[in-house]
Chain A
């Protein structure tokens, strides 16, 4: 059993009692709500005649179904409009604060929480969304939950959970130019498997993680779930505190210092005990892209696509099916794989630093004539900040569409979808068959600069081979 880790400490601080099921009743410090997974839970509450116990610890936004082109109401999609109205009614009745698109704060729930300072170290955070793990970047325990658990949290302010094991993932060394946090997490998932994290919470640490900004840490924690772990976190440090200071929901002055003392106290002890430790040499990594239909089917850009028969027996069949779906051959690299769409967005990679990095690649270049390029900022604030520094012009000049904030083509619940068997270079987190709205569509996961590179060349490209990097190297 782990001891002295952030997980242990935050768990203990939030433990209410042990339940007859053997689970722990945990107090929830922040409950984030969006439109897709909450209506049924509010419905269950209503059926039982229960009220929302802690509306002040609950915060809502709308992200999955919002159109990112024309956002005027009513939405042209009736089902989307119905979901939006339902959410509006539920939050109004319960007195829950709601970042609707008229507030200028709307966006993907995992972008909105951190940027407003709602997400803080040492909290327990839940949301009816598996990528809630994102918030772990701040040293919070953040879990995705199902609809019945949403009902639990709404009604009681708590969730019932079993304690899990803690695996420390130590990323040593310095990342090379052109190698990003996305490449680190795709490597973790590839090495440990899509189910390697089942039963574990991941603690990410080591030099490469310490050197990352908060956006990078969020990209990593975000995809913990793709590695099978329910949650992932990074211990809070000066980078965390600097990010938080001055945000809307973070107190100032003495109150800030008091909170900071708590935040520091929950970080894992130097002699903390872990159930497992895995080390990855960050300095060895190159940009990673996926060749298949699970996030674990990834390779370095210079590596060859594996032959199914060379993989462990239980991976061979799915690899074969995936290669057929993706139309790739073992022995080839992904370098040169033609794409029709470049999607820059999602809760993994649509924060300001992500857009900046991509814009740097795009600047002075043009989106390939056969490619539809889409930039969907993670939130209205990200969008405004990007526009303030002229990133929108860079993208638009190059031929990208510059959209409103939302989940968009990450899962294709609005009109932004792949068509037919289109191939998409995507900065999102899931390449499952059908994920981007077309069951024949093909998704290649990669970092924002790699998406930018694919957009301009029309094929999967090592961003380090583009001129900018040649100049740097020369």
Chain B
């Protein structure tokens, strides 16, 4: 997937993502870092890719700083390797949208903030967790082998690179959604409109 293609959106079924990696190190990387608030003044998500990690990537004169997303060898990467509590902070879907439009199709991390992971799922981006040790080893590997492929296997719950196979975890609902292609919750829930009406009517506060 090229950065910023216009029709970025969930694939029907995502069983595996394979591509080169990019490591972004640090715990508690929040959504304000992933996409600063001033870039949220938009009514569509188009074009957000260029603003991913903007304030840590560019200085006041917009000159590039040292950041993996700026480095030549990581351009074209699709597997992002991060540490703990990635995506904490606001509920802005602009954050995974920016990453996706930069080119990210899967994220491997120690842990993810829940709303962020949910936002990723809605875009068909797996957020796969692994131990701190395994994630750090993966990040080191990517640093040394920026051209090597990393395979994120949602079905087997594994991350594979070089000769290494890492045990990973994919949240149950996420796995089912990705693997069975039932991520479109609007359609799923829309089919139950009558039951929804019954539930609504059974609540004491809906009829006052």
Does B associate with A? yes
A-to-B contact residues, CB < 8 Å:
13-17, 19-23, 25, 27, 29, 36-37, 39-40, 43, 48, 50, 53-54, 57, 64-65, 77, 79-80, 82-83, 86, 120, 122-123, 128-130, 144-149, 151-152, 155-160, 162, 194-195, 198-199, 228, 230, 251, 255, 258-259, 262, 294, 296, 314-315, 317-318, 321, 411-413, 430, 432-435, 437, 439
Q: What are 29 pairs between A and B in contact, CB < 8 Å?
A: A16-B189, A16-B196, A19-B185, A25-B189, A40-B43, A43-B43, A50-B190, A64-B40, A130-B90, A144-B115, A145-B118, A146-B92, A147-B119, A148-B93, A148-B119, A149-B118, A156-B192, A156-B196, A158-B196, A195-B28, A195-B113, A198-B111, A230-B114, A296-B28, A412-B37, A413-B37, A432-B32, A434-B36, A439-B36
Q: Cβ of A21 and Cβ of B38 under 8 Å apart?
A: no
Q: Which of B32, B93, B111, B196 contacts A146 (CB 8 A)?
A: B93
- Size range of the chain B interface in the assembly: 35 or more
B37 CB, min distance to chain A CBs, angstroms: 5
User: Which chain B residues lie closer than 8 Å to A48 at the CB level?
Assistant: 186
Tell which of B66-74, B100-108, B172-180 binds the partner: B172-180
**B203 neighbours in A (Cβ, 8 Å):** 13-14, 27, 29
Query: Is A230 a contact of B115 with CB atoms below 8 Å?
Result: yes
- Selecting from B15-23, B81-89, B151-159, the interface stretch reads B81-89
By a CB distance below 8 angstroms, the chain B residues around A146 are: 91-93, 115, 118-119, 122
Q: Does B128 contact A (CB under 8 A)?
A: no
Q: Is B199 part of the contact surface with A, judged by Cβ < 8 Å? A: yes
Q: Which of B90-149 contact A (CB under 8 A)?
A: 90-93, 111, 113-115, 118-119, 122-123, 132
Is B165 an interface residue, CB under 8 A from the partner?
A: no
Q: Is the CB of A149 within 8 A of B122?
A: yes
Contact, CB under 8 Å: B44 / A39: yes
Cα distance, A83 to B83, chains bound together (Å): 34
Of residues 188 through 203 on chain B, the ones whose CB sits less than 8 Å from some CB of chain A are 188-190, 192-193, 195-196, 199-200, 202-203
Q: Are A129 and B38 CB-contacts (below 8 A) given A259-B208, A314-B27, A434-B33?
A: no
Are A130 and B185 interface neighbours, CB within 8 A?
no
Chain A residues near B200 (CB, 8 Å)?
Answer: 27, 54, 157
Rounded to whole Å, the gap between the CB of B110 and the closest CB of chain A is 8
In the complex, what residues of A have CB within 8 A of residue B189's CB? 16, 19, 25, 152, 155-156, 158, 160
Instruction: Assess the B93–A147 pair: CB atoms within 8 A.
Output: yes
- B195→A16 contact, CB < 8 A: yes
Q: CB distance A79 to B114 under 8 Å?
A: no
Q: Which residues of A contact B55 (CB under 8 A)?
A: 433-434, 439
Beta-carbon contact of A262 and B204 below 8 Å: yes
**CB < 8 Å neighbour of B176 from A22, A130, A262, A321:** A22
Contact B196 A434 (CB under 8 A): no
Q: B32's closest neighbor in chain A, by CB?
A: A432
Query: Is B51 part of the contact surface with A, judged by Cβ < 8 Å?
Result: no
Contact status B192-A37, CB under 8 Å:
no
Rounded to whole angstroms, the CA-CA distance of A230 and B45 in the bound complex is 24
> Which of B113, B171, B199, B208 meets A16, CB within 8 Å?
B199
8 additional contacts (CB under 8 A) given A158-B196, A255-B208:
A22-B176, A53-B196, A83-B43, A123-B205, A160-B189, A195-B28, A294-B28, A432-B33
Contact call B186/A65, Cβ cutoff below 8 A: no
Max chain B Cβ within 10 angstroms of own Cβ: one of A37, A199, A258: A37
- Inter-chain contact A198/B114, CB cutoff 8 Å: yes
- Chain A CB within 10 A, most for which of B55, B173, B196: B196
Chain B residues with CB below 8 A from A251, complex form: 208
- By a CB distance below 8 angstroms, the chain B residues around A17 are 192, 195
Is there contact, CB below 8 Å, between B27 and A29?
A: no
- Chain B residues whose C-beta falls within 8 Å of the C-beta of A54 in the assembled complex: 200
User: Provided the pairs A40-B93, A412-B38, A430-B32 are in contact, do residues A259 and B205 lie with their beta carbons within 8 angstroms?
Assistant: yes
Specify which chain A residues have a CB less than 8 angstroms from the CB of B44 in the assembled complex: 39-40, 43
Task: Verify A430–B27 contact, CB threshold 8 A.
Answer: no
With the chains together, A14 CA to B122 CA distance in Å?
A: 22
State in angstroms the CA–CA spacing of A151 and B118 once bound together.
Answer: 13
* A-side contacts of B118, CB under 8 Å: 145-146, 149
B15: shortest Cβ distance to chain A, in Å?
16
CB–CB A79/B190 < 8 A: no
Give the residue of A40, A77, A130 whose beta carbon is less than 8 angstroms from that of B115.
A130
Q: Which residues of A contact B91 (CB under 8 A)?
A: 37, 128-130, 144-146
Q: How far is the CA of A158 from the CA of B185 in the complex (A)?
A: 10
B41 and A65: CB pair below 8 A?
Answer: yes
Given A25-B189, A37-B93, are A195 and B88 also a contact pair (CB < 8 Å)? yes
Which residues of B have CB within 8 Å of A36? 40, 92
Q: Judge whether A194 and B185 touch: CB under 8 Å.
A: no
- Contact residues in B for A430 (Cβ distance below 8 Å): 30, 32, 89
A315 in contact with B193 (CB, 8 Å): no
B166 within 8 A of A: no
Q: Which residues of the partner chain B approach A433 to less than 8 Å between Cβ atoms?
A: 32-33, 55
Q: Which A residues are in CB contact (< 8 Å) with B24?
A: none
Chain B residues, CB < 8 A from A122: 204-205
A318 interface neighbour in B26, B186, B206, Cβ under 8 Å: B26
Chain A residues lying within 8 Å of B132, measured Cβ to Cβ, are 314
Query: Does B8 sit at the interface, judged by CB under 8 A?
Result: no
Task: Flag if B193 contacts A53 (CB, 8 Å).
Answer: yes
Do A156 and B190 touch (CB < 8 A)? Answer: yes
Contacts of B185 in A (CB 8 A): 19, 21, 23, 148-149, 152, 159-160
Q: How far is the CB of B55 from chain A (nearest CB, A)?
A: 4
Report the nearest B residue to A162, measured CB to CB: B173
User: How distant is the Cα of A305 from the Cα of B180 in the complex, in angstroms?
Assistant: 50
B186–A152 CB distance below 8 A: yes
